[in-house]
């Protein structure tokens, strides 16, 4: 546990796997208009909040002993954009060939830059609809890069995010100079002035807490950890089938996240068995799964007109995972390695 800041946490790959697979299943139900739990689908938005907490936690830790903004920026750019650009091309081709849609030059520019500045950020803002959440990731990374550039303590990231949030919230509330009619401001407000940044802050706070050996000792000495783990997960799965509630999501997600950080002490997981290796791999390719799954679903449901839930679900999972394994191997990994080579060749101080 004391080595958390300096190593990849295998158990968190399980959380990544769960988050991306739950989002996929949510979209299967939504596109088939199946509501197995009364009025609601399974709420995949809870999985997105887990992703955001994970990002805040890991980014804070991986910059703990290094202040190189160049290294950080290069790694984030090469991690996020190559796969995203590949997906943008696939989605554009799919929309043009199958739905005869026409796009302007501005549409292409906005999508490739991942900056839909002509209105509030929503799932329909970008051709890769799920990338709305990736825009928040990029904003978070940009704010973090600014701190590194100005050599400020990384703990200030929380204050910076809250300050920017407050400024944009105030401007929107008082409609300063007609800002609420300005499409560019509305985009920035929906990015900076919305509470989606809270999970990132929660992840950072957990990372800070886990630097304190007293906190770690307290967590490891809690009695009935197995019972608590089971109880909170039962509550979490019950919440998943309810209408999405942001405050509830943040509260339960942070508890689940902390429990998974100490899961080795709770369950003594063997990461070498084949089942666990499979889910760790799903965690590795979760970004590909997240970006590609709606295209796969569109092909299965819209093009092949499949309506059977079981068959659609199986095909969606198998097809998305296979495609994601390919994109991870031939796009994600090569560009991750390329970023490391660029950093090394230019003598840039590397991140952990």
pLDDT tens figures, 231-275: 999 999 888 877 888 999 999 999 999 999 999 889 888 888 999
Query: Which pTM does this prediction carry?
Result: 0.92
Say how far apart CA 279 and CA 54 lie, in whole Å.
Answer: 16
Tokens of 206: 């957990």
Say how far apart CA 252 and CA 228 lie, in whole Å.
Answer: 12
* pLDDT at site 3: 43
Would you put residue 244 in left (φ > 0), alpha (ψ -120 to 50) or beta?
beta
Say how far apart CA 350 and CA 340 lie, in whole Å.
Answer: 8
Rg over alpha carbons for the chain, rounded to the nearest Å, is 21
Beta-bridge partners for 37: 40
Say how far apart CA 41 and CA 33 lie, in whole Å.
Answer: 9
Say how far apart CA 32 and CA 306 lie, in whole Å.
Answer: 9
* pLDDT at site 4: 44
Say how far apart CA 278 and CA 319 lie, in whole Å.
Answer: 16
Contact 72, 63 (CB under 8 A): yes
Which residue's structure tokens are 């554009």? 92
Say how far apart CA 283 and CA 129 lie, in whole Å.
Answer: 21
Indicate the DSSP class of residue 331: I
* pLDDT at site 271: 85
Say how far apart CA 134 and CA 204 lie, in whole Å.
Answer: 18
Phi, psi of 126 (to 5 degrees): -125, 155
Beta-bridge partners for 40: 37
Q: Which of 251, 237, 337 is nearest to 22 (CA)?
A: 237
Which residue's structure tokens are 């995972």? 321
Parts of the chain with a pLDDT under 70: 1-8, 37-43, 64-67, 349-352
Contact 10, 267 (CB under 8 A): no
* pLDDT at site 258: 94
Say how far apart CA 47 and CA 26 lie, in whole Å.
Answer: 10
* pLDDT at site 41: 59
* pLDDT at site 339: 95
Phi, psi of 5 (to 5 degrees): -65, -20
Contact 214, 64 (CB under 8 A): no
* pLDDT at site 322: 98
């Amino acid at each position: 546990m004391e080595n958390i800041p300096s190593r990849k946490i295998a158990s968190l790959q399980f959380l990544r796997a769960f988050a991306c697979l739950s989002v996929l299943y949510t979209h299967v139900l939504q596109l088939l208009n199946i509501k197995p739990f009364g009025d609601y689908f399974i709420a995949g938005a809870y999985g997105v909040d887990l992703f955001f907490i994970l990002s805040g936690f890991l980014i804070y830790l991986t910059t703990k002993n290094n202040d190189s903004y160049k290294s950080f920026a290069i790694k984030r750019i090469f991690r996020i954009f190559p796969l995203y650009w590949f997906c943008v091309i696939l989605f554009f081709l799919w929309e043009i060939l199958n739905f005869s849609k026409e796009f302007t030059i501005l549409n292409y520019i906005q999508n490739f830059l991942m900056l839909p500045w002509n209105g509030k950020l929503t799932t329909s803002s970008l051709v890769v609809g799920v990338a709305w959440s990736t825009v928040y990731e990029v904003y978070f990374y940009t704010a973090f890069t600014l701190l590194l550039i100005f050599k400020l303590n990384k703990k200030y990231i929380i204050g910076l995010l809250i300050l920017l949030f407050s400024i944009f919230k105030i401007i929107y509330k008082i409609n300063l100079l007609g800002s609420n009619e300005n499409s560019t401001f509305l985009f920035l407000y929906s990015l900076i002035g919305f509470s989606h940044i809270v999970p990132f802050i929660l992840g950072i706070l957990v990372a800070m807490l886990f630097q304190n050996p007293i906190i770690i000792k307290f967590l490891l000495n809690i009695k009935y950890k197995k019972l608590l783990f089971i109880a909170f997960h039962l509550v979490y799965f019950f919440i998943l089938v309810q209408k999405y509630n942001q405050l509830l999501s943040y509260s339960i997600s942070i508890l689940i996240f902390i429990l998974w950080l100490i899961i080795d002490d709770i369950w003594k997981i063997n990461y070498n068995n084949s089942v666990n290796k499979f889910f760790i791999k799903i965690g590795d390719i979760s970004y590909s799964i997240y970006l590609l799954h709606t295209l796969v679903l569109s092909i299965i449901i819209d093009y092949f007109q499949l309506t059977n839930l079981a068959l659609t679900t199986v095909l969606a999972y198998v097809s998305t995972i296979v495609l994601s394994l390919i994109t991870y191997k031939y796009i994600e990994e090569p560009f991750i390695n390329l970023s490391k080579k660029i950093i090394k060749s230019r003598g840039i101080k590397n991140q952990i």
